[in-house]
Amino acid sequence: MLSPTALRTRPGLALVAAVAVGVLAGCGGGSPAQHSGGLHANSVDPAEPTDEATAAQALARPGLPVNVAPLSSRLRPDVLVTGSHTFSPQAVRRLSALSPAHGVVLFRAGRVKVAGHVVRAVAVDPSTFRRFAPQGTAETTPVWLAVARGEAVVSHSLAKGLKLSLGGDTTAARLSGGKAGTLRVGAFATTGIPGTDLIVDDEVGRSLGLPTATGMLLTAGKDVDPVDLAGRVRRITGDGSNVDLLSPPAANPVAFLTGSRAAKAFGAFSYRYFPDGTIQPDARWVGENIVTSTVPILGRVTCHRLMIPQLRGALADVQAAGLASSLHTYDGCYVPRFIESNPEHAISLHTWGIAIDLDASTNYRGIKGSMDPKIVDIFKRWGFRWGGTWRYTDPMHFEMDQLVAVR
């Protein structure tokens, strides 16, 4: 059964969050190598994205050997805040106070040119930052030794796009201009920071013009909803900074789906939401799951691929029962937003494309509506739940309640 759980959020935030349907991402199977971030000394093809971190063998260089602190424990960052200007000491103190001790890390963040292309970069202290990196990246010490040597950690997607070679050199320059220098590609890895494709050490970042103290990762701590933490961060930083939510809210925006089949079928996606109550799911998930098809009575609809067969079956039965003339308008299926477009309400199942609204003008919320009971019964047989029986009625609304076999 699909059952939504309420998500309480703060308006005015544009957040990126992982949404898990059934199981949280990362809890699935796979070989130990897939999840441990195993080290490979040889070059790999960056065309295959992976969560593994891959470091090049160190080249002999003059100077003292470098060291990084061992990974004693790993922290999952919940909120990322970045700004175009250096955070004031007062802001840093206030932001740091929002997380448990050692639950924040400060770094440089901004844009640079790599091989003539503008990319987002962060410049860090590898010994402290690695604790906040994705598991495979955090655990692969050669990645952080590469950073400490003044080399670059490059995302798999950037390496693929620029055809960069592991252990090879590329050019890097300030965004504001100036002479380009040479930057060695020391590792391919998942950065864990949305939109960021390059990690270097603090000194390299300074030479590339990245301003100090323009990025911070924060952990929410025990029993603190990451959404609430993001709201507190926003109140401190104001409109001059970007606040991103990196982990699922404590109240998951869609309830876990009961049954492993449903959980596996609907998968997971990330999204960004905006103060007007709209939501932007990640394009890859949309491309894999949201489709436009023709169904009886309504014509072309855009919904989740798993809903189309059940919707088509229900409408075919409505038509066969001579009830087609009772349905007049199709008022949306895949409409990514919060309920009533209010960010303080739960996420609507329209965001997943597994709900549909019909005859909205005569079946709006809070009234009994004009939906024919025979149509309601047909939709129920096809695995749909009807909003007309809710405490605060929504008689236009039908949503998938279960996956049914369609021959």
pLDDT tens column, 257-289:
333 444 456 666 667 777 778 888 878 788 988
Task: Please give the pLDDT value at position 238.
Answer: 79
Question: Is residue 241's pLDDT more than 90?
Answer: no
Do both 319 and 236 map to the same domain? Answer: no
The per-residue pLDDT for range 79-132, each reduced to its tens digit, is: 899 988 999 999 999 999 999 988 999 999 999 999 999 999 999 999 999 999
Task: Please give the pLDDT value at position 118.
Answer: 92
* Cα 46 from Cα 157, distance rounded (Å): 7
Q: Is residue 11 part of a domain?
A: no
* Cα 85 from Cα 63, distance rounded (Å): 34
Residue 65: which residues within 8 A CB-CB, separation 6 or more?
none
Do both 127 and 222 map to the same domain? Answer: yes
Do both 179 and 299 map to the same domain? Answer: no
Q: Name which residue leads in pLDDT, 360 or 264.
A: 360
Do both 240 and 309 map to the same domain? Answer: no
Q: Is residue 250 part of a domain?
A: no
**CB neighbour class for 238 (10 Å; exposed up to 12, middle 13-18, buried from 19):** exposed
Q: Is residue 405 part of a domain?
A: no
**Do 398 and 381 contact (CB within 8 A), yes or no?**
no
**Do 236 and 216 contact (CB within 8 A), yes or no?**
no
**384-398 burial, b for 16+ CB within 10 Å, e for fewer?**
bbbbbeeeebbbbbb
Task: Please give the pLDDT value at position 18.
Answer: 31
- Identify which of 396, 349, 344 has the alpha carbon closest to the alpha carbon of residue 11: 344
Residue with the two structure tokens 């000194």: 203
The per-residue pLDDT for range 10-68, each reduced to its tens digit, is: 233 333 333 322 222 222 223 222 222 222 222 233 333 345 677 665 544 445 678 99
Do both 180 and 123 map to the same domain? Answer: yes
Task: Please give the pLDDT value at position 24.
Answer: 21
Task: Please give the pLDDT value at position 275.
Answer: 73
- Identify which of 200, 329, 350, 354 has the alpha carbon closest to the alpha carbon of residue 278: 350
Question: Is residue 300's pLDDT more than 60?
Answer: yes
Task: Please give the pLDDT value at position 222.
Answer: 82
Do both 58 and 192 map to the same domain? Answer: yes
Do both 114 and 221 map to the same domain? Answer: yes
Residue 268 backbone phi and psi in degrees, to 5: -145, 155
Question: Is residue 182's pLDDT more than 60?
Answer: yes
Q: Is residue 1 part of a domain?
A: no
Task: Please give the pLDDT value at position 228.
Answer: 79
Of 224, 245, 266, which residue sits at a domain end? Answer: 245
Do both 220 and 339 map to the same domain? Answer: no
Range of the domain at 231: 25-245
What is the token pair recorded at 254?
């869609």
Do both 226 and 144 map to the same domain? Answer: yes
Do both 126 and 221 map to the same domain? Answer: yes
Q: Quick one: average pLDDT of 347-363?
A: 90
Work out the angle at residue 260's Cα, subtended by the Cα atoms of residues 258 and 261, and round it to the nearest 5 degrees: 105
What is the token pair recorded at 182?
């040479």
Q: How many domains does the chain have?
A: 2
Of 218, 245, 272, which residue sits at a domain end? Answer: 245
Do both 300 and 376 map to the same domain? Answer: yes
| H or E segment and range at residue 99 | none
Of 219, 245, 271, which residue sits at a domain end? Answer: 245
Do both 212 and 301 map to the same domain? Answer: no
Torsion of CA 195, 196, 197, 199, to 10 degrees: -170
Task: Please give the pLDDT value at position 283.
Answer: 82
Q: Is residue 127 part of a domain?
A: yes
The per-residue pLDDT for range 201-221, each reduced to its tens digit, is: 999 999 999 999 999 999 998
CB atoms within 10 A of CB 307: 28
Q: Alpha helices, DSSP H only, in 134-207?
A: 135-139, 141-148, 156-162, 202-207
Task: Please give the pLDDT value at position 266.
Answer: 66
Half-sphere exposure at residue 377, Cβ-oriented, CA atoms within 13 angstroms = 5
Q: Is residue 254 part of a domain?
A: no
Q: Is residue 211 part of a domain?
A: yes
Question: Is residue 9's pLDDT more than 70?
Answer: no
Q: Is residue 238 part of a domain?
A: yes
CB atoms within 10 A of CB 236: 18
- Whole-number average pLDDT of the chain: 79
